[in-house]
Amino acid sequence: MNDLERRIKAKIPGPDTGIEVRKSICTICDPMTQCGLDVFVKDGKILKVEGSEGHPYNRGALCPKGASTRQYVYSEDRLKTPLRRVGPRGSGAFEPISWEEALDTIAQKCLEAKADYGPESVVFFSGYTKFFRPFLKRMALSFGSPNYCTESSTCHQATALAQKLTFGQGGGPDIKNTECLIVWSANPFYTNPGNGKNIQAALDRGMKMIVVDPRLTPTAAKATLHLQLRPGTDGALALAIGHLLIKEGLYDADFCRDYTYGFEDYKKLVADCTPAWAEERTGVPASRIVEAARMIGRAKSACVLPSASPVVHHTNGVQNYRAIFSLIAITGNFDRPGGNCVKVESYLHVTGGIATNEHKFELSADPSKMAKRVGEEVYPVWMESLPGEAQAMCVPEQLRTADPYPIRVILGFGMNYRMWPDSDGFLKAIDEKLDFLAVTDLFMTDTCRHADIVLPACSSLERYELRCYGMNYIQLASPVIDKLYDSRWDLDIIFELARRICPEDTLLCSGYESCINYILEPSGLTFEELKKHPGGMFVPHPLPYIPKKYEKEPLKTPSGKVELRSKVLEKYGEKPGLESLPVYHPPKYSKEAAPEMAKEYPLILNSGSRLPMFVHTRTYRLSWTSSLRPNAPSADLSPTDAKSFGVAEGDRIRVSTPFGSIELTAHITGMVQPGVVHIYHGSSKADVNELFEYGYGDPISGFPGYKSALCKLEKIEG
Ligand SMILES: Nc1nc2c(c(=O)[nH]1)N[C@H]1C(S)=C(S)[C@@H](COP(=O)(O)OP(=O)(O)OC[C@H]3O[C@@H](n4cnc5c(=O)[nH]c(N)nc54)[C@H](O)[C@@H]3O)O[C@H]1N2
Ligand SMILES: Nc1nc2c(c(=O)[nH]1)N[C@H]1C(S)=C(S)[C@@H](COP(=O)(O)OP(=O)(O)OC[C@H]3O[C@@H](n4cnc5c(=O)[nH]c(N)nc54)[C@H](O)[C@@H]3O)O[C@H]1N2
Ligand SMILES: [Mo]
């Protein structure tokens, strides 16, 4: 081997080796966690990827998923051409068709459904992928359908709803400046490594950290205080902390008097929520609850790092988060340095120091003048607080019942039916009741197999993506390789469909560059300018953070104040679960609320806690990532439960709820507390979502109760 061959083998970039480093972002995860990527390309092929050194989010690092980008992009499962189903749904029998034919067929189906049943009979759904959402939403509204919905019907929106009911808007934790960070359920060292780094830096400067998590995670291991509660009892813990803050005079009386609504009622609610009361419900020793309350109350500033799913994947999720956010309110830590700060959301729910026209762009028509959204009758609080999005969790039932009107067509962009509870029930409804399903995806997935038309989407390395970062950084990633096979990017698919189903929307039909320029207009940035900085740039004149805005203008709640008692919820007659105060109820399927069921199903089933190598359904298919968890799908058990059920590491077990059972491998770990079984979601081999019944969820948000059901386990002999 000569020197040049050695340099090529070592993948050293340079004119002699023909290897070029191109800048991109990793979008295997969502916009909260997209690492800067250096892509090493030779002859149009990716040789390897590294984290971009200079990128302020990941600062050179990459997680196992991002490091597997080459396998992800070149996966054998990649869809290659548009396909039309020729066999029964699920048979996998398809024939290749041209793009023209595929797009014409989809458009025709949409227009027929609109003519026969109304535009609302067409549902526009986005899975976990987020970059195309404002465009998809605009297309739905321009077409006349209020039924734009997303994976956020199980993710983030309920947390956002709890914040909205309390503060009128969101408010992110000021990790950099706080004295006490309360990580209420997140595990960023697995799920958001950039934030993990921020937390580590803050710990190094002496920040105190309380972690509330049923498991001993890497985040919990770094905590000053770990409150290891039973899943779904967060509300009880938060009310007891509130009780202590008031009893010990550790709250901000002036703030409560001047800027909150319902403080006296809240005070009455927490009067009986003693640490002993909470210990009984949560399993957290009373002395630790006292320690936590003092740590929060005595700190000059404290903030909550909330999470998009674990607290709200319960039948009491929104109320529990309201109880948690109330702690920020009564300690005066709302919208001040070191607390939970309200900043301008720039793009795709990320603050980035710029204002954009995103929401104006999305709202090409007024959804309130259209038919009722899917889920509107069942979850009115959601509908009132989160305009412009249907509750996707209600799609299966409306498909089955056609009540209040039929759903005829679903256009699914990256749609995974296993995301829903009672996933097999949803699939059956698709097969039996849906007239037409079109899906765009990178891979031939289980959902694609049931579609009428399947469209091959390209990966993020083959397209553009606009991305804002919290540190006032912005990046427009451009394609670093040509599109593979006959794939297209989702946005070209949207523009082509828009030209067919809503041609009067001339902005949407005009394509990416003009839409992005419209969105960016208030920021002074343009597509052209951003393209000149392929690795991203700091925003030239970021909008400054202005603390305590509530002193100058009313908050966006009905009372204009922080609502410890919700005026929105006051309208619902104080029904259990919908009370205007954040009253605590145990999870519906728990020893406390369903003792009969608990006799046969003695364990708590908690599903979906993230693993570092997997992201939903996406990376199971890669050998590099799955080699890090060789027995997946598996159930995590505590050593105590393993012993009492006679199960050893690697044994096959059956986990059952009253609604279904699945077989998988036992993984015994001290991360888990006795009495709880944890199973990761999204696997084709053992889909935990088959164990959850339709409708088991939160009465305010409609979020599924993925983190607390009752289950039993048996060892499979032989
Ligand atoms: N039991 C249980 N269930 C859960 C959860 C849980 O904790 N427990 N979590 C919930 C939460 S928080 C979430 S966010 C959801 C996950 O939401 P899902 O939408 O189920 O997530 P994925 O499987 O990552 O993505 C869906 C599809 O998008 C495809 N895809 C990837 N990139 C692209 C692209 O660029 N274009 C297109 N068109 N398709 C693409 C993927 O291949 C995949 O088939 O699951 C929810 N379900
Ligand atoms: N590697 C990886 N990263 C991801 C994802 C992924 O699939 N893989 N998914 C992305 C998505 S869509 C999301 S929503 C986020 C989720 O991000 P995180 O919320 O940070 O991650 P999770 O592991 O879902 O949950 C965090 C912790 O909540 C705990 N928990 C479970 N039930 C309860 C409960 O009832 N109360 C409390 N207090 N804690 C509980 C779990 O033990 C877990 O350690 O991660 C994102 N990042
Ligand atoms: Mo999520």
Ligand 2 probe mutation, 126, 183, 191, most atoms within 8 A of CB:
191
Q: Whose CA is nearest to atom 4 of ligand 1?
A: 419
Tell me the angle at which helices 234-247 and 275-282 cross, rounded to the nearest 10 degrees.
Answer: 170
- The verdict on the CB of residue 32 being under 6 Å from ligand 1 is no
- Distance (Å, whole) CA 28 – CA 72: 9
Residues 136-190 have pLDDT tens digits of: 999 999 999 999 999 999 999 999 999 999 999 999 999 999 999 999 999 999 9
- Distance (Å, whole) CA 406 – CA 128: 25
Ligand 1 probe mutation, 32, 154, 461, 607, most atoms within 8 A of CB:
154
Q: Whose CA is nearest to atom 19 of ligand 2?
A: 186
The reported pLDDT for the residue numbered 53 is 95
Query: What radius of gyration do the chain's Cα atoms show?
Result: 25
Q: Where are the alpha helices (DSSP H) in 248-285?
A: 253-259, 263-271, 275-282
- Distance (Å, whole) CA 118 – CA 285: 57
User: Average of pLDDT values for 234-244?
Assistant: 98
Match 């983190």 to its residue by tokens.
707
pTM exceeds 0.75 for this model:
yes
Starting from the CA of residue 615, give the closest ligand: 2
> φ and ψ at 381, to 5 degrees?
-70, -40
Residue 387 pLDDT exceeds 90: no
Residue 269 pLDDT exceeds 90: yes
Element containing residue 342 per DSSP (H, E):
none
Q: Are 180 and 209 in contact (CB under 8 A)?
A: yes
Ligand 1 probe mutation, 442, 465, 625, most atoms within 8 A of CB:
442
Residue 588 pLDDT exceeds 90: yes
Residue 561 pLDDT exceeds 80: yes
- The verdict on the CB of residue 682 being under 6 Å from ligand 1 is yes
Which atom of ligand 1 is nearest to 155's Cα?
A: 12
- Distance (Å, whole) CA 148 – CA 133: 9
Residues 647-691 have pLDDT tens digits of: 999 999 999 999 999 999 999 999 999 999 999 999 999 999 999
User: Average of pLDDT values for 341-359?
Assistant: 95
Contacts of 381 (CB under 8 A, 6+ apart): 161, 165, 568, 569, 572, 578, 700, 701
Residue 507 half-sphere exposure toward CB, CA atoms < 13 A: 16
The reported pLDDT for the residue numbered 31 is 74
Classified as helix, coil or strand, 23 is strand
In angstroms, what is the span from residue 152 Cα to ligand 3's centroid?
7
Contacts of 15 (CB under 8 A, 6+ apart): none
DSSP label of 543: P
Contacts of 712 (CB under 8 A, 6+ apart): 600, 601, 602, 603, 655, 656
Tell me the angle at which helices 286-298 and 234-247 cross, rounded to the nearest 10 degrees.
Answer: 60
Residue among 218, 225, 179, 182 at smallest CA distance from 202:
179
Q: Are 210 and 288 in contact (CB under 8 A)?
A: no
Q: Residue type for 113, please?
A: A
Classified as helix, coil or strand, 685 is coil
Starting from the CA of residue 132, give the closest ligand: 1
Residue 330 pLDDT exceeds 90: yes
In angstroms, what is the span from residue 617 Cα to ligand 1's centroid?
6
User: Average of pLDDT values for 14-42?
Assistant: 94
Residue 477 pLDDT exceeds 80: yes
The reported pLDDT for the residue numbered 481 is 98
Residues 91-144 have pLDDT tens digits of: 989 999 999 999 999 999 999 999 999 999 999 999 999 999 999 999 999 999
Contacts of 422 (CB under 8 A, 6+ apart): 396, 659, 689, 690, 692, 693, 694
Q: Whose CA is nearest to atom 38 of ligand 2?
A: 185
The reported pLDDT for the residue numbered 431 is 97
In angstroms, what is the span from residue 441 Cα to ligand 1's centroid?
11
Residues 613-633 have pLDDT tens digits of: 999 999 999 999 999 998 999
The reported pLDDT for the residue numbered 33 is 85
